[in-house]
C-alpha cells in the first residue's frame, strides 16, 4: 500500500505542472523581441555610435521606442542588437556593478576596457551553459586618453576595432565605414557617416526604422542624443516601378 501511494504521488507531481500549464524549465532557443543593427566608429577624439529604436516581434514592428544604448560609469556606452530582454538583463548587471563602485567611495570606477571584458566573460559563461544571451554588444568608451571600441556576442567572441557593425550593419555598413575612416576623422564627419549608414539600413533592413539615436563618448563624458528621424525618400523610380527583368533593384 505504501509503495502504491508513493508511486501515485510521483505521478501526480509529474502531471500537475503539465495540467496547470507549467512545463519543464527551458532555455531560450531563439530571440523573440529583437533590435536591428548597431554601428559605431572611432574618431580622433572619441567614439560615435548609432542605432534605430525599433523592437521587432518577428516581422511585426511591435515596439517603436526601444532604447538600445546605456551609459555605464563615466566614460562608457553599451549598445546592443539582438534579443532586447537580454540587453535589459545586462543593464541590470552593469547598474549593480556601478552602484557597488559608487557605494565603496574609493574613487575607483570600472572603465571601458574592464566593462568590455566583463560583458565578454558573461557572454562566454552563458554560452558554456548552453543558455546564451542572444545579442551582439558594442562597448564604446574613452580610457587613458584614447577612444575605445569593443565587440562581444553570444558566442563569447571579443575584439577591439576602429569601426563595428552588428546585424545587417556588418554587411552593409562596414564597407562604408572602412572606406571613410581616417586617423584625423572629426566628430562631425563621424556623426554624418553613422547617420548615412543608418539611412541605408533603414532602406534595406525590414527590421529597422527611421527613428534613431546617436551616442558620443569623449574625454568629457557620454552623451546619448534624443530620438531623431533620419531623412528618407521612397519616391525613387527604382522603388516605385515593378520590373520583371534582371535590372530590378534589390
* Backbone angles phi and psi of 16, in degrees to 5: -60, -45
Tell me the three cell numbers of residue 250. Answer: 534589390
Identified catalytic residue from 28, 95, 96, 186: 28
E strands present in 154-250: 158-160, 163-165, 211-218, 221-224, 228-229
Q: Is 104:62 a contact under the CB 8 Å cutoff? A: no
Q: Is 156:127 a contact under the CB 8 Å cutoff? A: yes
The widest CA-to-CA distance across the chain, in whole angstroms, is 84
* Backbone angles phi and psi of 20, in degrees to 5: -105, 20
Tell me the three cell numbers of residue 24. Answer: 519543464
Length of the chain equals: 250
Active site residue 28: yes
Could you identify the residue written with the cell 556601478?
A: 98
Give catalytic residue positions.
28
Amino acid at each position: 500500500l505504501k509503495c502504491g501511494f508513493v508511486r501515485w504521488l510521483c505521478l501526480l507531481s509529474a502531471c500537475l505542472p503539465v495540467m496547470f500549464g507549467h512545463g519543464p524549465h527551458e532555455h531560450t532557443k531563439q530571440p523573440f523581441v529583437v533590435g536591428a543593427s548597431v554601428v559605431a566608429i572611432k574618431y580622433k577624439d572619441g567614439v560615435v555610435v548609432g542605432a534605430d529604436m525599433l523592437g521587432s516581434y518577428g516581422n511585426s514592428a511591435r515596439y517603436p521606442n526601444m532604447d538600445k544604448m546605456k551609459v555605464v560609469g563615466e566614460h562608457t556606452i553599451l549598445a546592443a542588437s539582438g534579443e532586447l530582454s537580454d540587453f535589459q538583463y545586462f543593464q541590470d548587471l552593469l547598474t549593480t556593478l556601478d552602484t557597488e563602485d559608487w557605494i565603496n567611495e574609493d574613487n575607483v570606477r570600472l572603465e571601458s576596457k574592464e566593462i568590455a571584458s566583463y560583458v565578454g566573460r558573461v557572454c562566454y559563461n552563458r554560452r558554456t551553459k548552453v543558455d546564451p544571451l542572444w545579442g551582439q554588444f558594442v562597448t564604446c568608451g574613452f580610457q587613458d586618453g584614447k577612444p575605445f571600441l569593443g565587440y562581444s556576442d553570444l558566442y563569447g567572441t571579443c575584439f577591439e576595432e576602429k569601426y563595428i557593425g552588428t546585424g545587417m550593419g556588418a554587411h552593409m555598413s562596414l564597407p562604408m565605414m572602412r572606406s571613410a575612416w581616417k586617423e584625423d576623422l572629426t566628430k562631425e564627419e563621424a556623426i554624418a557617416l553613422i547617420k548615412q549608414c543608418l539611412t541605408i539600413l533603414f532602406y534595406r533592413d525590414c527590421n529597422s526604422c527611421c527613428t534613431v539615436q546617436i551616442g558620443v563618448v569623449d574625454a568629457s563624458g557620454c552623451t546619448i542624443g534624443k530620438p531623431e528621424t533620419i531623412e528618407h525618400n521612397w519616391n525613387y523610380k527604382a522603388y516605385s516601378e515593378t520590373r520583371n527583368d534582371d535590372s530590378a533593384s534589390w
